[in-house]
Amino acid sequence: MTPELAVRSVSACFPCFNDARTIASMVTTVDEVLAPLVEDVEIIVVDDGSSDDSLAVLRNLQRDLPRLVVIEHGHNRGYGAALISAFAAATKEWIFYTDGDGQYDAGEVTGFIDAARPDIDLIQGYKIGRGDPCYRKVIGRVYHHVVKLAFGLPGRDTDCDFRLFRRRLVVEHPLTATSGVICVELMHSFHRSGARWKELPVHHYFRPHGQSQFFRLPQLWRAGTGLVVLWWRLIVRGRR
């Protein structure tokens, strides 16, 4: 441990929904890169009612990785609910999280650890390009600009699910959104609490297996209505 490193304990969190073909590599990668760099590490995966073999993969992985904590949702509760469960189970000073589907390289967390300082509360990733088909890139940029304007959010990429932050930020300001709009709630909460932060670039790859649930019409509809409800609660009622 070099004295310059501000991060001495990390809870690495992954939401998992039908990610049986990628979650093991995500977990082992983050374990391999964090173990020699950080004094105290735990890895938390929330299986959010997967219908594939994700839970079995995780249980087998636990045999060789005692610092892996597996939380099981008996049914699918939503992306936000999985993150809330993971953050509630976290015990370390810092939380790192990214998705379990393999579109981000969990190994890039080392750059975030190196960049953390005592006067920094959050390191937010922003995607270098976007590993998605063109229509998803368009939807993603529209979504980013809409939420940035509607919620008054700073930053280059509010929808980048690659973050390292102090656990107290979610302890002092608990999250409530159970869908994907939790990322907006998260960034709004960080911004309103005066969190000191910086941004770093991360690679974003084509999804190696399966299909994204977000870019289906029912999910887009739910995300849209969820954003309206969140906007009303945080912005309209918040001003009152």
Residues 174-212 pLDDT 10s: 999 999 899 999 999 999 999 999 999 999 998 766 555
Whether 4 is in a domain gets the answer no
pLDDT (tens digit per residue) in 207-239: 766 555 555 555 667 777 888 999 999 998 876
1-5, 47-51, 120-124, 222-226: range with lowest mean pLDDT: 1-5
Q: Which residue has the higher pLDDT, 6 or 86?
A: 86
Q: List 12's β-bridge partners, or say none.
A: 43, 96
Whether 171 is in a domain gets the answer yes
Whether 1 is in a domain gets the answer no
**Closest C-alpha among 127, 153, 151 to residue 140:** 127
Whether 84 is in a domain gets the answer yes
Whether 2 is in a domain gets the answer no
Kindly state the average pLDDT of the residues 66-88. 96
Predicted pLDDT of residue 138: 73
Q: Which residue has the higher pLDDT, 129 or 90?
A: 90
Predicted pLDDT of residue 170: 98
Question: Is pLDDT at 144 greater than 80 in this prediction?
Answer: no
Predicted pLDDT of residue 129: 75
**Closest C-alpha among 178, 47, 30 to residue 107:** 30
Question: Is pLDDT at 36 greater than 60 in this prediction?
Answer: yes
pTM score:
0.90
Question: Is pLDDT at 162 greater than 90 in this prediction?
Answer: yes
Whether 192 is in a domain gets the answer yes
Supply the range of the domain harboring residue 84. 9-239
Total domains, the chain: 1
CATH number, position 164: 3.90.550.10
Q: Where are the alpha helices (DSSP H) in the chain?
A: 23-34, 54-64, 79-89, 109-115, 134-151, 168-172, 182-192, 217-231, 237-239
Question: Is pLDDT at 141 greater than 90 in this prediction?
Answer: no
Kindly state the average pLDDT of the residues 153-176. 94
Counting residues of the chain whose pLDDT is more than 90, the rounded percentage is 72
